[in-house]
A and B are shown apart, each in its own frame.
Chain A
């Protein structure tokens, strides 16, 4: 393992993403990426009595699917890195309490998935583990309940607001395998540009994404054109445009090969999701479903996967604090 610059780690023995799995809710199942997901739910409760239980079940079943697909015996999985948006990460810890694998609960808001992949890759590279699990989840209803308003409240969502993705994404990282490989990890810094509007998360997180993006290019000496695709987690339409324009002012042209999972997962015209998708599961499901398959089929060979998170909660929002953002990136190659 080699440190490049201040924020980037270059892995000596690239870590393989052995298998991924994703489960999404009904709204995502009506979106343009539906066919890439392992399972689409018909009902947000999924037979459970509360949103929280439903989310726990989603992450649990996603993990079961990924373990099944990998054909690894469960005792070969040495660690699990998981996190979500609900207070104290209860979806992950409740959903995975019967998993019986050493467990690290992590929180990076919507950046959790890539945060977990980065940490997991370092674990494997250092020899601490041979195979491990990264997963994350979010649920529209439980997130609305915790961060915004009751579902039945008759309010209007402003056009800059985003739609929390219901679902879960999960990946197994392995020392041995034939790729796709995680080759570099760029850990983001907390960046706060003073945005206070909780209905404009894309704008709040875009500066963090820009910071990580530039650090990655500086540390590795790469240019945007090195990658077939640069993918952010959930900046949405507003944040995506901001990132493109701000990167341009810093001398990086990313417009041609950049996309955002929040933009990809819903159809803006028919699904009324305003600025696009958000939530931990946004990049979790879109990577596990769509991008992983593209890498496997070698339609894309080098991607920079960057998950963005808004490090806020409902208390700080009520206290009028601004929203700090963070973005973690991993570069993945086949």
Chain B
């Protein structure tokens, strides 16, 4: 297929490495601090918002693409970026609209697919 020839494999490699490194940070937090997964996710999303608000995270996104946007820090970055852009457009109220607007797709998808999965499927015992 024509598409596979056009992929920038260098970018894919960068995404792999940066994404992997961000996950390692999470793994060290899990193993060293005994934080629950909920807390880990909160820490990641909040740091994403802060780094995004400071404009730092965007450099990582420019460098690694999905390697920076797919981890939850990228979700936080999208929230912050959305809030700032909306403030630029509509002023004060934008702070309340932009974040959710930017993340709307992800949130809605997670809720909808989550509901669907719960309708169809049942929890099963971990075999291991």
Contacts and interface: CB of A to CB of B under 8 A. Distances in A.
Contacts of B123: 141, 150-152
B37 A197 contact: no
Interface in B102-128: 123-128
Contacts of B30: 156
Interface string A99-130: 00000000000000000000000000000000
Interface of B: 30, 34, 37, 123-128
A58 to B, nearest CB: 14
14 contacts: A26-B125, A27-B125, A44-B125, A140-B125, A141-B123, A141-B125, A149-B37, A151-B123, A151-B126, A152-B123, A152-B124, A158-B34, A197-B34, A271-B128
Interface in A175-204: 197, 199
Interface string A148-175: 0111110110100000000000000000
Contact of B124 (A25, A151, A153): A151
Given A44-B125, A197-B34, A199-B34, 14 more contacts: A25-B125, A27-B125, A27-B127, A141-B123, A141-B125, A149-B37, A150-B123, A151-B123, A151-B124, A152-B123, A155-B37, A156-B30, A158-B34, A271-B128
Question: What are the 7 closest A-B residue pairs judged by CB atoms, nearest first?
Answer: A151-B123, A44-B125, A272-B128, A155-B37, A152-B123, A141-B125, A151-B126
Nearest to A270: B128
Nearest to B127: A27
Interface of A: 25-27, 44, 140-141, 149-153, 155-156, 158, 197, 199, 271-272
Contacts of B127: 27
A66 to B, nearest CB: 26
A26 B128 CA distance: 12
Contacts of A150: 123
A41 to B, nearest CB: 11
A88 B127 CA distance: 29
B128 A151 contact: no
B14 to A, nearest CB: 25
A214 to B, nearest CB: 31
A151 B123 CA distance: 6
B37 A153 contact: yes
B34 to A, nearest CB: 6
A155 B128 CA distance: 12
A284 B30 CA distance: 33
B101 to A, nearest CB: 29
A187 to B, nearest CB: 33
B24 to A, nearest CB: 14
A197 B124 CA distance: 26
